[in-house]
Amino acid sequence: MKKILFLLLISTFTTEANPYTDQAKRVTIHRDEWGIPHIYGKTDADAVFGLMYAQCEDDFARVEMNYIEKLGRMSEVKGEKELAYDLYIKLLIDEKEAKAEYKTAPVWLKKLLNAYADGINYYLQKHPEVKPRLITHFEPWYPLLWTDGSIGAISTGDVTEQETALFYGLPAQVASVKYQTPDEKLTGSNGFAVGPALSKSGHSLLYINPHVTFYFRPEVHVESEEGLSVYGAVTWGQFFVYQGFNPYNGWMHTSSEVDVADAYIETTRSRNGQMEYLLDGKWIPFQTKIITLGSRKIKAYFNHRGPVLAARNGKWISVRSYNRARKSLMQSWLRTKTKGLEDYKRVMDMRANTSNNTVYADNKGNIAYWHGNYVPRRDATKDWGVPQDGSSSQIDWKGLHSVDEIVHVYNPASGWIQNCNSTPYTVSGTSSPLRTNYPVYMAPDGENFRDRNAVRLFSQTGKLDLQGLIGLGYDRRLMAFETLLPALVNAASQESDLGEVVEELKKWDYNASTSSIPQTIAIRWGLKILPKIPKPKQFGGETEVIQNMESYARTGSKLAMAQALREVLAELKRDFGTWHVAWGDLNRFQRVSNGDALQMDDSKASIPVPFTSSAWGQLPSYTSRSIQGSKKWYGVNGNSFIAAVEFGPKIKAYSLLAGGQNGDPTSPHFFDQGQMYAEGKFKDIYFYKSDVLKHAVVSYHP
């Protein structure tokens, strides 16, 4: 009897010490030869549990860091340089709201949120050797801080974190602008869809090509017995596939300039020690709350529109935005289980995702595009690219536009759709929506050279299969230099000391290659002149990239162009002993660490890459720069997870991931896709369980 009681006590203790064991047994993870996790769970919650566990196995540090960021606690691990960003986040994302929304969440969503936290906490329990930098226990409300998978999901009405930091009295040194190369600001993502009329097989095709910071998303495959079956890219720490496909349809998100946040100039006064703002002739007290940043206590101000983020010309600026919401998280999950165009439109009609354009294709031959999703209704005669007078409530948003009211195209006669973070009015060539049918705030985006290149290619192509679509997506034409380089050649031809380099530039066909010397010169010269190109704002707040470059090519200073070229030649001679440097000798791909700071080493092995930043009109993107004084340039963002999908009776798909799946430098999957990435060579996607089992290298329960 004592023995039985002892065993019972052991069983009870074990269950209490490991509350996740039963759920772990309902999950199986198969990893293929690339380390990609194929996760199978009995329920959706089981699948989420397994997904989070697998993400932590691959890169717990990135999972944790994404939530350190969204909690506004970056300065606690990276120092005071992050104080401005922490303040920005805490003003825009309300932790109390997230906690309250968790408590009242629908049962199905609460199960997923619990599974999210349990999967990560179980991983930490099983891996005591893993030492979190800050978060030792994950809470189920964390995903409600970050409800959209976009890398740029924070919208602020163009008020910068530097302005906010200065307004609230943070030291000037922590309010400094973070460094970006000029071309990094012009990169983005590509999404293509091909309808049956342009497809060799008669099936719809989808091309998924986000351009983001390297290693921002891994590749995953998640299934459950409750109907979940989805493959694609998941943002570290999130439990839904952000860009991907299921057996019925697929979706690619690009970002755009759809106006989803606005700034307002407030008329204020101080009365009896309280700040008030004027609205419709009445003075209304600002709401306040204390924001804690380390030892600092900051009194923050809010009105009915949102937080006060800045002061300009002595006037306070409030911002109306929609940066997180439970409804947005629900939409992000529910689209992964859609079964066709009408079903997908019903999920789109939740109108809760603020940062997404969507390129869509399905197994019924449908293709579609929506420019944005959450679009507030406003007075179309006003320029919403500038702050509005906040003293009248008439300027406030008037609800949301319906999905069919926003800029969209369904099954265009051209047979194709492309979006490259550009205007939707070229999305399908001659079948594109008409600009005159929509208010400017819906699509203030200008045209860019990637967009122009994609339109050129689709307008000229014959019927495509997946390999043809991949080939189109990897077109190497640097169209921006068709505009800029003739101006440089003209300017340099008038300088006697530049004759040799002019002859070299004249040989270039504008296509990227590792052997090209003129490409090296052109890219380095372009980076010098980009900041000098005037960028006037249009009505609606955006700038026209192509028009600006064309204007500069016509009217820019020839002396300045020639002098920038001389500087390029001098720098190349300094670093390499000659200006005759092939692009592949300069432009490299290397992954030697997985820390916060970029670490690259000229003395260590790296791979030549022919591609450039997509700022120059090339469709594949590879933005590189000198890292910590390196002579060679190393990639920092661009093509990340790329996939090409055919929606036939069975899914056929290929993918490629920047570098590799795992963040551990000792893992065989840290950089096993590096050479393939540099060459644009894709691998097979294993979508069906029979294929997964055939290629499984290891299978296990969490």
> Is 288 domain-assigned?
yes
Strand partners, 389: 265
Q: Which pLDDT value is given to residue 109?
A: 98
- pLDDT higher than 60, residue 13: no
Average pLDDT over residues 431-447: 96
End-to-end CA distance of the chain: 34
Q: Which pLDDT value is given to residue 18?
A: 78
Cβ burial, residue 628 (10 Å; 0-12/13-18/19+): exposed
How far apart CA 523 and CA 423 sit, in angstroms, is: 25
How far apart CA 424 and CA 442 sit, in angstroms, is: 10
Q: What are phi and psi of 77, to 5 degrees?
A: -115, -20
- pLDDT higher than 50, residue 392: yes
How far apart CA 579 and CA 361 sit, in angstroms, is: 47
Report the Cα 455 to chain-centroid distance in Å: 23
How do residues 618-636 score in pLDDT, each as one tens digit?
999 999 999 989 999 999 9
Q: Which pLDDT value is given to residue 155?
A: 84
Burial track 102-125 (b if 16+ CB lie within 10 A, e otherwise) = beebeeebbbbbbbbbbbbbbbbe
Nearest to 624 by CA among 607, 603, 641, 649: 607
| Residues near 12 by beta carbon (within 8 Å), at least 6 away in sequence | none
> Is 440 domain-assigned?
no
- pLDDT higher than 60, residue 441: yes
> Is 651 domain-assigned?
no
> Is 303 domain-assigned?
yes
How do residues 297-317 score in pLDDT, each as one tens digit?
999 999 999 999 999 999 999
Burial track 350-383 (b if 16+ CB lie within 10 A, e otherwise) = bbbbbbbbbbbbbbebbbbbbbbbbbbebeeebe
* Residue 486 structure tokens: 């003739």
- pLDDT higher than 90, residue 521: yes
How sure is the predictor about 7, in pLDDT bands with cuts at 50, 70 and 90?
very low
> What stretch of H or E contains 456?
helix 449-460
Mean pLDDT of the chain: 94
Q: What percent of the chain is predicted at pLDDT more than 90?
A: 90
* Residue 202 structure tokens: 């008669």
Average pLDDT over residues 335-341: 98
Average pLDDT over residues 250-259: 94
DSSP letters for 121-159: HHHHHH-TT---SS-SS--TTGGGG--S--TT----TT-
DSSP assigned state of 477: B
> Is 571 domain-assigned?
yes
- pLDDT higher than 60, residue 461: yes
> What value, to the nearest 5°, has the Cα angle with vertex 49 and ends 595 and 56?
15
Residue 7 identity (one-letter amino acid): L
The CATH number covering residue 270 comes to 2.30.120.10
Domain boundary among 321, 340, 357: 321
How far apart CA 669 and CA 663 sit, in angstroms, is: 8
How far apart CA 330 and CA 353 sit, in angstroms, is: 10
Total tally of structural domains belonging to the chain: 2
Residue 651 identity (one-letter amino acid): I
- pLDDT higher than 60, residue 334: yes
How do residues 137-186 score in pLDDT, each as one tens digit?
999 999 999 998 887 668 888 899 999 999 999 988 787 666 556 655 55
Contact predicate 602/658, CB 8 Å = no
- Of 80-84, 175-179, 530-534, 570-574, the one with minimum mean pLDDT is 175-179
Residue 263: helix, strand or coil by DSSP? strand
Q: Which pLDDT value is given to residue 352?
A: 95
- pLDDT higher than 70, residue 14: no
Residue 575: helix, strand or coil by DSSP? helix
CA-to-CA separations, 612 to 290, 399, 589, 639, 673, in angstroms, rounded: 46, 42, 12, 11, 19
* Residue 195 structure tokens: 């309808």
Half-sphere exposure of 601 (CA within 13 A, CB side): 6
> Is 546 domain-assigned?
yes
How sure is the predictor about 15, in pLDDT bands with cuts at 50, 70 and 90?
very low
Is 664 known as a binding-site position? no
Contact predicate 328/353, CB 8 Å = yes
List the domain range (segments joined by +) for residue 616.
479-635
Is 259 known as a binding-site position? yes
Whole-angstrom Cα Rg for the chain: 26
- pLDDT higher than 90, residue 3: no
- pLDDT higher than 80, residue 479: yes
- pLDDT higher than 80, residue 129: yes
Residues acting as catalytic residues? 189
How sure is the predictor about 5, in pLDDT bands with cuts at 50, 70 and 90?
very low
How do residues 601-624 score in pLDDT, each as one tens digit?
999 999 999 999 999 999 999 999
> Is 248 domain-assigned?
no
Q: Which pLDDT value is given to residue 173?
A: 79
Contact predicate 66/235, CB 8 Å = yes
Residue 37: helix, strand or coil by DSSP? strand
Q: What percent of the chain is predicted at pLDDT more than 70?
A: 95
> Is 342 domain-assigned?
no
Strands 37-41, 219-224: pairing kind? parallel
Average pLDDT over residues 190-202: 98
- pLDDT higher than 60, residue 507: yes
Q: Which pLDDT value is given to residue 153?
A: 62
Q: What are phi and psi of 674, to 5 degrees?
A: -60, -50
> Helices 480-492 & 499-506, crossing angle to 10 degrees?
150
Strands 683-684, 651-657: pairing kind? antiparallel
- pLDDT higher than 70, residue 121: yes
The CATH number covering residue 601 comes to 1.10.1400.10
| Residues near 522 by beta carbon (within 8 Å), at least 6 away in sequence | 478, 481, 484, 485, 488, 505, 508
Burial track 555-581 (b if 16+ CB lie within 10 A, e otherwise) = ebeeeebbebbeebbeebeebeeebeb
Q: Which pLDDT value is given to residue 356?
A: 87
